[in-house]
Structure 1
Amino acid sequence: MSDGKDSLDLSGLGAAIPNSNELSAEDKANLVASIKNTLEGLASRHMDVLEGLDPKVRKRVEKLREIQGQHDELEAKFFEERAALEAKYQKLYEPLYSKRYEIVNGVIEVEAESAGETPAEQKSGEEKGVPAFWLNAMKNHEILAEEIQERDEEALKYLKDIKWYRISEPKGFKLEFHFDTNPFFKNSVLTKTYHMIDEDEPILEKAIGTDIEWYAGKCLTQKVLKKKPRKGSKNTKPITKTEDCDSFFNFFSPPQVPDDEEEIDEDTVSF
């Protein structure tokens, strides 16, 4: 594993940030202008308020502003040191995640723990590694378990590894779901990338998911409904209708987040 890439801590996945629309260059420019105007207005009102205060009170308020400035400097150092600490431990985690991958997928066998214990020989046709490890791990995660439908489980048994790594340009992070060859879709890796406006206090700019290449009749995010034609109808064939359905794999198709003025659906935010 390289470039800061690691197998995912499930707590990080469960806290994955909700999705949003991409901001265009024009939108960003308008946002910056709006913030600038707001700050200028606040500064003007701030001066008006200060001028209306008793001189002694004004002096106290100015001292409080000085204290806040010192706090902000310390906070900036905190974010800097936290980033360095996270990078340090990501490197320390890497060999552990590599060994976990090898054991889960049967690349290596666990050695006997005591001198008198001998590892069992691999029999022909015997399952390797830990079957359905990631499916069971996610089903035991409070948040992820709610997103996994019964019809998803067979596909998730082919999940070999989950990785997380930070990206710098643009700032954000990426989740990678590595799958073995399976009868559901062609992709060997499904990704979800989060672009952040502010990495220290996460503000999402947009999220991008993989387009899943489903095999014919295997799509888990849609279901086909069949309805018998009405009596006396010339068409005797069943009427079929395709509609979206709940599935863990909807995670890779970021829903549209409404504008600030609109109400955001609670289920959309949680996913």
Structure 2
Amino acid sequence: MVAANGDSTIDIEGPLKELGDIYADIGVIVDQLVEEEAALHAKYELKKVDLYKKRQAVIDKIPGFWHTCAITYLQSIDIERSASTPVNYKIVFKFAENPYFTNSELAKEFDFSDKGSIKVVNSSIDWKEGKNLTASPAKTEGEEDSDNFTENEDTSFFCWFNDENGSDLADMIANDLFPLALMYFTGSAENSDDDDELPVFDELDQNDVEEEIEASDDAVSDEETEDAPVTKRSKRT
């Protein structure tokens, strides 16, 4: 590659390669920074465990708190972190009795110990007969298969428990929604200047779900869907 310099040209391929090597080295340092920031954040989140337990005791006095922050029938969210490696965590959702599944608790666990991969353990949802909100609707002609619910805004939140990854949403819940729950409840999170687009759960409203199920009966036999898309979220670091 050459560059013009007045009436002459200069071969800049060598300098560009040198710059590329320098930026590659800078990238390594940036990656280290991101990892250390994540580890430090997780360490201090672990220190808040007792305060979060006190917070939940107060939240229990506010009807529909987590409904407003997240989804109907949700009673509490808890983040369980490993004391030895707090960057690893389990998100535990506790639900009231509801018309859709029998589980009182659903969890998704993430192990980031291996930098090359993420280990994920999902709860199995015990759906009540005819109430599976993750049942796939009929595909339109030419529509491609996808097993990643984040690619489709019209997919039920509960498909996340079928996702072998889902770490972007997990990061939002563990490091944004959970610590800033009061801001989400009051709506002040939506006006925050911290992010260009703060993620907010769309409500899983029972009436909306049932209306969507009834509307789809004629088109899709024995298949029920949820009219509660999860908004695509920008990841916070």
TM-score of the aligned structures, taking structure 2 as reference length: 0.43
Q: Name which one, 1 or 2, has greater alpha-carbon Rg.
A: 1
- Larger RCO (CA under 8 A, 6+ residues apart): 1
